[in-house]
């Protein structure tokens, strides 16, 4: 299985998970609002489940943004420097970002250990699900960024949008 196929499968899976989570979130919250206003009752667990789903949507969306180079960036200077320096800077920023993601994972491991056995008040879902979302996102974002940086440096492909000159040709 090639990396392109793997990334395509990962993107499709994440988009599907986000779509399902959004539909469930809207459904739970809407149902709860209708029940509260129309029948003076509600689903005690709906807000908590919607919060869990929202956290997962945010972290899954951040993985997609990394895969598609969609995060905000300032490229006013880097567009005008030589291709070899662009590659070097991209490799350096990727290494720094992966180092920060490593610290995030270490911190999340501590939080998971501290919160073992703690559950949500209405659902009894472990509170650690918040931290698992961040952990999965940090690990996948690091892997994607490392692959993109190596691919860009070695082949000129999978680079950031600023790495293309005005004629839309890849930097060599």
Domain boundaries, the chain: 3-163
DSSP letter, residue 157: -
Determine the Cα–Cα distance for residues 130 and 115; give it in Å rounded to an integer: 11
**Cβ neighbours for 77, distance < 8 A, ≥ 6 positions apart:** none
| Average pLDDT for 35-46 | 89
HSE-up of 44 (CA within 13 Å, CB side)?
5
User: Do residues 137 and 59 lie in contact, with contact meaning Cβ atoms separated by under 8 Å?
Assistant: yes
Place of tokens 């499709």: 12
Digit-coded pLDDT (tens) for 115-154: 999 998 988 899 998 999 999 999 999 999 999 999 998 8
pTM, 2 dp: 0.85
In this prediction, residue 164 carries a pLDDT of 64
Q: Which is it for the CA torsion 159, 161, 165, 170, positive or negative?
A: positive
Average pLDDT over the chain reads 89
Angle between helices 3-39 and 46-67 (to 10 degrees): 150
**Mean pLDDT value across residues 26-46:** 91
Encode pLDDT of 84-109 as tens digits: 888 998 999 999 999 999 999 999 99
């Amino acid at each position: 299985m090639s990396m392109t196929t793997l990334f395509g499968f990962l993107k499709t899976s994440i988009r599907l998970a986000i779509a399902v989570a959004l539909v469930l979130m809207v459904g739970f919250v809407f149902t709860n609002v209708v029940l509260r206003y129309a029948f003076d009752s509600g689903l005690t667990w709906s807000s908590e489940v919607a919060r869990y789903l929202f956290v997962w949507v945010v972290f899954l969306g951040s993985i997609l943004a990394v895969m598609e180079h969609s995060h905000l960036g300032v490229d006013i200077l880097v567009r005008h420097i030589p291709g070899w320096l662009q590659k070097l800077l991209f490799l350096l920023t990727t290494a720094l970002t992966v180092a920060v993601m490593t610290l995030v994972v270490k911190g999340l491991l501590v939080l998971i250990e501290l919160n073992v056995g703690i559950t949500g008040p209405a659902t009894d879902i472990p509170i650690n699900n918040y931290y698992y979302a961040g952990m999965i996102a940090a690990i996948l974002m690091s892997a994607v960024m490392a692959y993109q940086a190596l691919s860009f440096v070695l082949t000129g492909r999978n680079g950031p949008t600023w790495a293309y000159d005005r004629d839309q040709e890849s930097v060599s």
